[in-house]
Amino acid sequence: MTTQTGLSKPGFAPSGLSRRGLYWVGEHAVLVALGVLFIAPIVFVGLTSLMSSEQTLTASLWPNPVQWSNYLNVFTQVPLLRWFANSALYAVLATAFMLVSSVPAAYALAKIKFPGSNLLFTAIIVAMLLPPQVTAIPVYVMWSGAGLTGTLWPLILPNLLGDAFSIFLLRQFFLTIPKEYADAARVDGCTEFQVLTRVVIPMAKPGIAATGIFMFFHSWNDYFGPLLYTSENSDWWPVAYGLASFRGIHGTDWGLTMAMTVLVMVPVVVIFFFAQRVFVEGITMTGVKG
C-alpha cells in the first residue's frame, strides 16, 4: 500500500520507499566514515613500518622507498626470536595447564550436585573479578621464596591449579548441554570422569576452544605479570613486554618500532581469523547471559 502511493507520487515529500532509501544511504555513509576512522590507525602503522628512520620524521605518510628491511632489522636490534619463544612458551603452557585443571572443575560445578557448590562458585566469581594487584604482593613473596622471580614460571605454573575466569566461562558453556545426556551416560554405568571425557567434552568443543583462545590471548598480551616478574631479566621477556621497552632502548626509530608492533599483532590476528566463529560465540557468552 505505502509502496504504491510512494511510486505514484515520486516528486513529493519523502514516501515510504524513498525515505527508507535515504535512511539506508545515511546509515551506510556513517558506517563507511566510522569504518575508515577505525581502520586508519592500522593502515598508518603498516605504512610507517615500511619507512626509513629519516622518513618517519618527515611530513609524508606514504613509504618511499619501501623499506622491507625494517622487518629483518628488528630481529638483529633486539633478541626478538627469543622474546617470541618466551611468549609462545608462556601462552601455550598457560593454556594447556589451564585446560587440564579448569575443565574438570567447571564440569563438577555445572553438572554435579555437591555440598558447598554455591560457595565455591561465588569464590570463583570473586577471584575472577578482583584486581590482580590486590593479591600480587603475597604471591610475589611466595615466588621469591621459591627462587622463581626473574622467570615467567610464576605466571605459567598457577594455571595447573585452575583459572577463575576460565572455570566460569567453561561452566557457562557446560550448562548449555542438556543434563539428560550426562544422566543417560551415568545410567549406562559411566563414571563421572567418563561422562566428562566421552559426553561433555565432545559436546562442548567450541566452548573449550573459545576459553583456550581467550587464555592464549590473555597470556600473549599480558604486561603486568611480566613487568612484575621479569622486568630485570630481559632473557625472559615476552614479546609484548619487549615492545613496550623497545623505543626506550632504541631511540626514536618509529619505522622499526612500528614493524615490531605489526609483528606482535600478527599471531593474534591470524588465530582470530581461523577461529572467528567460536571466538565471537565466546565473547557473547561472557555477557549475554547476564
Partner 1 sequence: MTATADVRQETLGVQTATAVRTPRYRLRRKLATLALLAPALLGLLIFFVYPLIASVYYSFTRYDLVSPPEWIGLRNYEYLFTKDPKVVIAAINTFWFVSIMVPVKIIFALLIAGLLARARAASGFWRTLFYLPALVPPVASVVAFVFLFNPGTGPVNQVLRFFGIQGPLWFNDPAWSKPSLLLLAIWVMGDIMIIFLAALLDVPREQYEAASLDGANGVQQLRYVTFPNITPVLLFALVTGIIAALQYFTEAAVASGVASGKAVVGEGTGNNLGYPGNSLLTYTEWLYVRGFSQYQLGYASALAVLLFVVSAVILVLLLRRFKAFTPEGAA
Which 117-176 positions form the footprint of partner 1 (CB under 8 A)?
Answer: 117-118, 120-127, 129-142, 144, 158, 160-164, 167, 172, 175-176
Say if CB 151 and CB 230 are below 8 A apart.
yes
Q: What binding mask, one character per residue, do residues 184-213 give for partner 1 by CB under 8 A, x or -?
A: --x----xxx--x-----------------
Q: How far is the CB of 96 from partner 1 (least distance, A)?
A: 13
CA distance 108 to 120: 11
Q: How far apart are CA 213 and CA 95, in angstroms?
A: 8
Window 30 to 69, contacts with partner 1 (CB under 8 A): 30-31, 34-35, 38-42, 44-45, 48, 56-59, 61
Site for partner 1 in 241-280 (CB under 8 A): 241, 243-249, 251-252, 254, 257-258, 261, 264-265, 268-269, 272, 276, 280
Q: Minimal CA–CA distance to 155: which of 79, 101, 95?
A: 95
Query: Which amino acid is it at 26?
Result: G
Asked whether 71 and 266 are in contact (CB, 8 A), the reply is: no
AA letter at 13: A
Tell me which of 179, 198, 205, 274 binds partner 1, using CB under 8 A. Answer: 179
Of the candidate residues 114, 147, 188, 202, the single one contacting partner 1 (CB under 8 A): 114
Binding partner 1 by CB under 8 A: which of 4, 22, 66, 223?
A: 223
Using CB under 8 A as the binding criterion, the count of chain residues that bind partner 1 stands at 112
| Minimum separation from the CB atom of position 11 to partner 1 (A) | 26
Given 74, 220, 256, 259, the residue binding partner 1 (CB under 8 A)? 220
Nearest-angstrom CA–CA distance, 201 and 108? 13
CA proximity to 78, closest of 217, 200, 260, 261: 260
290 touches partner 1 by CB under 8 A:
yes
Considering the complex, state which of residue 57 and residue 81 has its C-beta at the smaller distance from partner 1: 57
Contact 78, 246 (CB under 8 A): yes
Please name the residues in contact with 77: beta carbons below 8 A apart, sequence gap of 6 or more: 250, 256
Name which of 124 and 208 has its Cβ closer to partner 1: 124
3-class SS string, 232-262: CCHHHCCHHHHHHHHHHHCCCCHHHHHHHHH
Q: Is 11 or 248 the residue whose CB approaches partner 1 more closely?
A: 248
The footprint of partner 1 on residues 67-96 (CB under 8 A) is: none
Of the pair 17, 139, the CB lying nearest partner 1 is at 139
Segment near partner 1 (CB under 8 A), from 1-9, 12-20, 69-77, 233-241? Answer: 233-241
Q: Which of 107, 153, 165, 216 binds partner 1 (CB under 8 A)?
A: 107
User: What are the residues whose beta carbons fall under 8 Å from the beta carbon of 182, sequence distance 6 or more?
Assistant: 111, 195, 199, 200
For 119-143, b/e burial (b = at least 16 CB within 10 A) is eeeeebeebeeeeeeeeeeeeeeeb
Choose which of 185, 228, 256, 259 interacts with partner 1 (CB under 8 A). Answer: 228
Shortest distance, position 65 Cβ to partner 1, whole Å: 18
